[in-house]
C-alpha cells in the first residue's frame, strides 16, 4: 500500500469533496452553519458553473503554502469582491454564470524583448501547476484561507524577457460590459488596472492563478486567469486578465484613480496603517465570529519584508 506523507498530500485531498460540495451538510450541519455565518452565500448557486479538474496538479513547496484550515469552496465562490460583476459580495456569483472564458488570450507587451500573446491553454502548460494555500486579506478587514492553483508569475515573465527599462508591471482586466454588468456602473474607470513593481512581480510568492480547490478558476473568482499577491490587500490581485504590460513609470491603478487617499500603489497588509474609514489592526476570518489580529504583510513578512527596506510604509502605503 502506498501511504502518502503529510507533505505529499494536497489540501484539496485533505478536505474531502463531499465536505466542501454537499450543500446540505453546509446548511444543516452545525459546523457548516457556523462556517457560512455572515458570508451571504446563495443556496445552490456555487455549483451552477461547469467545473473541470486541473490535470497534473502537484503540491507546492512547503515555503509557499500554509497549514491553516481552509475556507470552503462555497464560501470562497459566494463571498468575493469582483466589481466587474457588481459591488455586493454575492453579485459575482450571481452575475457571472454565463461569463465566457474560452477562447481567451493574454497579451504581454511593453518593455520586453519578446512580446507574446498567450492562449489560456498555453498558460495551463507553461509551467507545472502547484496547489498553494495562501491567506487572502481584503482591505475591508476580512480574510480567507484559499487553496489556489497556479505557478509563480516569474515563469511567464522569463518567457518575454523584460528590458532594463521595465520597472513596473500593469495588469488589465477584460472590458466587456455586455458580459460584465458591473462595468456599466461608473464606480470605477474601466478597464480595471492594477500594478506591481518588477521585483514584486518576480517574487516567487506572486502567483499566476489558474485554479481553485484543484479545479479551473470559477467565474466569480477571476476565471480564467488572475493574479494572487498574498501579502497585499485583495484588490491588488487583478482578475480575468487579458493584458500584461511592462512599463518604466509607476502605473495609476483603478483604485488610485478613484480614491488616491484611501488606496495607494503598494497596498501591503499593514496593521499599523489604517484605512481612513476603519482600522486594519484586526480582521474577521470568514466562517468565524471572533476577530483576530492582522499580521504584518499578511503573515508573509519573513519572505517579503526585504522588498521594502528603507521605505516609509505609512507614506508609501
pLDDT at 98 over 80: yes
How far is 298 from 229, CA to CA, in rounded Å?
Answer: 10
- Residue 61's pLDDT band (cuts 50, 70, 90): confident
CB neighbour class for 296 (10 Å; exposed up to 12, middle 13-18, buried from 19): middle
Burial class from Cβ neighbours inside 10 Å (0-12, 13-18, 19+) for residue 217 reads: buried
Q: Are 219 and 50 in contact (CB under 8 A)?
A: no
Integer Cα distance of 105 and 179 in angstroms = 16
**Is 260's pLDDT higher than 60?**
yes
pLDDT tier, 274 (very low <50, low <70, confident <90, very high otherwise): very high
Q: What share of the chain is helix, strand, coil (3-state, %, to 5)?
A: 30, 25, 50
Domains of the chain and any CATH numbers: 6-308 (3.90.420.10)
pLDDT over 50 (residue 30): no
Question: pLDDT tens digits, residue range 176-189?
Answer: 999 999 999 999 99
Given pLDDT bands bounded at 50, 70 and 90, which one contains residue 17?
Answer: very low
Contact (Cβ atoms closer than 8 angstroms) between residue 66 and residue 14 = no
- Quote the pLDDT of residue 7: 47
As a whole number of Å, the CA-based R_g of the chain is: 19
Mean pLDDT on 48-75:
88
**pLDDT higher than threshold 50 for residue 44:** no
Residue 305 or 8, more confident: 305
pLDDT in tens, 192-205: 999 999 999 999 99
The residue-averaged pLDDT of 104-122 equals 98
Question: Is it the case that residue 287 has pLDDT exceeding 60?
Answer: yes
Residues 6 or more apart whose CB falls under 8 angstroms from that of 50 comprise none
- Specify the pLDDT at position 49: 62
State residue 33's pLDDT score: 38
pLDDT greater than 90 at residue 6? no
Q: Determine contact, residues 194/206, Cβ cutoff 8 Å.
A: no
| 93 within 8 A of 75, measured Cβ to Cβ | no
Are β-strands 241-247 and 105-110 bridged in parallel, bridged antiparallel, or unpaired? parallel
Q: Say if CB 304 and CB 311 are below 8 A apart.
A: no
Q: What is the pLDDT of residue 62?
A: 85
Mean pLDDT of 305-310: 98
Amino acid at each position: 500500500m502506498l501511504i502518502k506523507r503529510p507533505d505529499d498530500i494536497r489540501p484539496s485531498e485533505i478536505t474531502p469533496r463531499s465536505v466542501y460540495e454537499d450543500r446540505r451538510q453546509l446548511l444543516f450541519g452545525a459546523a457548516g452553519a457556523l462556517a457560512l455565518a455572515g458570508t451571504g452565500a446563495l443556496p445552490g448557486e456555487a455549483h451552477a458553473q461547469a467545473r473541470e479538474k486541473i490535470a497534473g496538479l502537484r503540491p507546492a513547496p512547503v515555503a509557499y503554502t500554509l497549514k491553516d484550515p481552509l475556507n470552503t469552496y462555497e464560501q470562497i465562490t459566494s463571498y468575493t469582491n469582483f466589481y466587474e460583476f457588481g459591488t455586493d459580495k454575492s453579485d459575482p456569483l450571481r452575475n457571472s454564470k454565463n461569463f465566457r472564458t474560452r477562447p481567451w488570450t493574454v497579451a504581454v507587451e511593453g518593455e520586453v524583448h519578446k512580446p507574446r500573446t498567450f492562449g489560456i491553454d498555453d498558460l495551463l502548460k507553461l509551467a507545472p501547476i502547484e496547489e498553494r494555500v495562501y491567506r487572502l486579506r481584503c482591505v475591508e478587514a476580512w480574510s480567507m484561507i484559499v487553496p489556489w492553483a497556479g505557478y509563480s508569475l516569474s515563469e511567464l515573465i522569463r518567457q518575454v524577457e523584460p528590458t532594463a527599462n521595465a520597472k513596473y508591471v500593469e495588469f488589465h482586466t477584460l472590458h466587456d460590459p455586455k458580459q460584465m454588468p458591473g462595468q456599466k456602473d461608473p464606480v470605477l474607470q474601466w478597464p480595471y488596472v492594477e500594478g506591481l513593481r518588477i521585483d514584486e512581480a518576480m517574487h516567487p510568492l506572486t502567483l499566476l492563478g489558474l485554479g481553485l480547490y484543484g479545479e479551473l478558476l470559477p467565474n466569480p473568482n477571476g476565471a480564467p486567469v488572475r493574479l494572487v499577491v498574498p501579502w497585499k490587500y485583495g484588490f491588488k490581485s487583478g482578475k480575468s486578465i487579458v493584458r500584461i504590460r511592462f512599463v518604466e513609470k509607476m502605473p495609476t491603478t483603478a483604485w488610485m484613480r478613484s480614491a488616491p487617499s484611501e488606496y495607494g500603489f503598494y497596498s501591503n497588509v499593514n496593521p499599523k496603517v489604517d484605512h481612513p474609514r476603519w482600522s486594519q489592526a484586526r480582521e474577521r476570518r470568514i466562517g468565524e465570529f471572533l476577530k483576530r489580529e492582522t499580521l504584518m504583510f499578511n503573515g508573509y513578512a519573513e519572505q517579503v519584508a526585504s522588498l521594502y527596506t528603507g521605505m516609509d510604509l505609512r507614506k508609501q502605503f
